[in-house]
Amino acid sequence: MENKPKSPFRPLWISIFTTIVVFFFSLYILDPLLTYMLGYSSVEGSYHSFTHALILSLILVVMLSTLMILEEMKK
């Protein structure tokens, strides 16, 4: 079997897929939770709760990325 060279675009596709997953996670999971917990009305919820959900998901992604980098540095 021959070894095929890896595509240089593979990390790009992984990043795009992960961005889409994080977006829908924050839209369908975090946004309703924050709307319920913070008590936004429908008008406020359309702006503020989704923004807060995106910020929270960004924080979680940064924490996960930092943990993955630290794990790789230990090896």
Confidence label for 45 from pLDDT (cuts 50, 70 and 90): low
Tell me the pLDDT of the chain averaged across its residues.
Answer: 78
**Domain boundaries defined on the chain:** 28-74
**Mean pLDDT value across residues 31-50:** 73
In this prediction the pTM is: 0.62
Q: From the centroid of its chain, how far is CA 14? A: 12
Q: Which helix (H) or strand (E) holds 54?
A: helix 50-74
User: How confident is the model over 58-75, as pLDDT tens digits?
Assistant: 888 888 888 888 888 987
